[in-house]
Structure 1
Amino acid sequence: MNLLLDAFAWIFSPDRLTGSLTLPMAIAQHLAFTFGSVAIAAVIAIPVGWLIGHTGRGREIAVILSGAARALPALGLVILLVMLAGVTLKTEAAVTVFVILAIPSILAGAYAGIEAIDRSVIDAGRAMGMTEWQILFRIEMPLGLSLLIGGLRSATLQVVATVTIAAYVGLGGLGFFMIQGLNSRNFTEILGASIVVVALALVLDGLFALLARFAVPRTTGPRTRLSRAEAAPLPVAQASH
Structure 2
Amino acid sequence: MNTLSAAWSWLTSAAHWSGPDGIWHRLGEHLFLTVVCLALSSAVALPVALVLGHLGRGGALAVNVSNAGRAVPTFAVLVLLLLTPIGTYGDWPTIIALVLFAIPPLLTNAYVGIRGVDRDVVQAARGMGMTGGQLLRRVEVPLALPLILTGVRIAAVQLVATATLAALVGGGGLGRIITAGFNLADTAQVVAGAVLVAVFALLVEAVFETVRRLSPRWAREGAG
TM-score (norm 1): 0.86
Alpha-carbon distance between aligned partners in 2 of 1:216 and 1:152, rounded to the nearest angstrom: 19
Q: What is the alpha-carbon root mean square deviation over aligned residues?
A: 2.0
Instruction: Report the equivalent of 1:89.
Output: 89
Aligned-partner residue type, residue 189 of structure 2: E
Q: For residues 26 and 211 of structure 1, do their structure 2 counterparts lie closer, same or farther at Cα, with a shift above 3 Å needed?
A: same
Change (3 A) 1:174 1:15: same
Report the alpha carbon displacement of residue 18 of structure 1 after superposing the two structures with TM: 4.3
CA distance in 2, matches of 1:147, 1:23: 34
- Whether the aligned pair in 2 keeps the contact of 1:7 and 1:189 (CA below 8 Å) is yes
More divergent stretch after superposition (178-187 vs 141-150)? 178-187
Higher alpha-carbon deviation: 127-136 or 193-202: 127-136
Is 1:103 aligned to residue 103 of structure 2? yes
Partner of 1:185, secondary structure, is coil
Match of 1:232 in 2: none
Q: Confirm or deny that 1:2 pairs with 2:5.
A: no
Deviation at 1:68, TM superposition (A): 2.3
Q: What's 1:236 paired with?
A: none
Q: CA deviation at 1:98?
A: 0.4
Amino acid in the other structure paired with 2:173? G
Runs of 4+, deviation exceeding 6 Å: 218-221
Report matched runs for 1:1-241 at 5 Å: 2-85=2-85, 88-213=88-213, 214=215, 216-217=217-218
Shift of residue 20 of structure 1?
A: 4.1
Percent identity (aligned): 35
The CA deviation at 1:74 is 1.1
TM-score between the two structures when normalised by the length of structure 2: 0.92
Unaligned runs of 5+ in 1: 225-241
Deviation at 1:180, TM superposition (A): 1.3
- Structure 2: unaligned runs, 5 residues or longer: none
Tell me the amino acid that sits aligned with residue 99 of structure 1: V
Tell me: CA distance 1:217–1:113, structure 2 relative to 1, closer, same or farther (3 Å): same
Deviations 1:61-95, CA, capped at 9 Å, x for gaps: 21222122211211122122122126531301110
The more displaced of 58-67 and 41-50 is: 58-67
Aligned residue-pair number: 222
- State the 1:60 CA deviation: 2.4
Give yes or no for contact 1:146–1:215 (8 Å, CA) kept in 2.
Answer: no
Deviation by residue 1:130-172 (Cα, 9 ceiling, x = unmatched): 1111110000011111100000011111111011010011012
Work out which of the two has the higher radius of gyration on C-alpha atoms and give 1 or 2. 1
Instruction: Tell me the distance in 2 between the aligned counterparts of 1:212 and 1:72.
Output: 32
> Which has the higher mean CA deviation after the structures are superposed, 206-215 or 20-29?
206-215
User: 1:161-211: CA deviations, max 9, x gaps?
Assistant: 011010011012111111111122211001101111011100111111222
Deviation of residue 54 (structure 1)? 0.5
